[in-house]
Amino acid sequence: ERNANNVAYTSSALPPHQDLAYYESPPGMQLLHCAMMGRGVVGGESTLIDGMAAAHRLREVRPESFECLVKCAATFVKQRDGAGMTYRRPHIVLAEEGGMGMAAREITAVYWSPPFEGPVCLPPGQVDRYYEAYADFERLLNGDANGNEPM
């Protein structure tokens, strides 16, 4: 679409992401479909990833990064046409403690939406560690330069 107000309405490739992470209560599942595809149209493929499996794997291989993404809130934003939505939450959410340490608590949600992330609002001493943890998780979700597939 010419002059699209959302990258989803263009021919640009989108990396794996979750829609509506800037909502307080985003939908648990969203299904998209193509009603009609014109002749000569190229693209439109969808890639599904398992964010929960990636979070479990991050807990195993980079526990310090996992802990950082549980403790540090990301800022998710959507701004257009005079409307602005912002919500801050960690990328990985765990069940309430109930006497268990972080390593044993159930992962209840994953929020991953790079196209809709706003400014990092963390104390200066946490920013570098956050970006390292973010990069670790992104490699699990998107694959890496070594040809490893995303989860």
pLDDT tens digits along 108-151: 999 999 988 999 999 999 999 999 999 999 999 887 655 565 54
| Block mean pLDDT (10 aa), the chain, length 151 | 71 78 84 77 77 94 96 92 89 85 87 92 96 94 65 49
What's the number of CA atoms in the CB half-sphere (13 Å) around residue 141?
19
The model's pTM is: 0.83
User: What per-residue string of b and e applies to 66-87 under the rule 16 or more CB within 10 Å gives b?
Assistant: bbbbbbbbbbbbbeeeeeeeeb
Distance of alpha carbon 133 from its chain centroid, rounded? 13
Q: Among 115, 67, 106, which residue's Cα sits nearest to residue 90?
A: 67
Three-state DSSP state, 90: strand
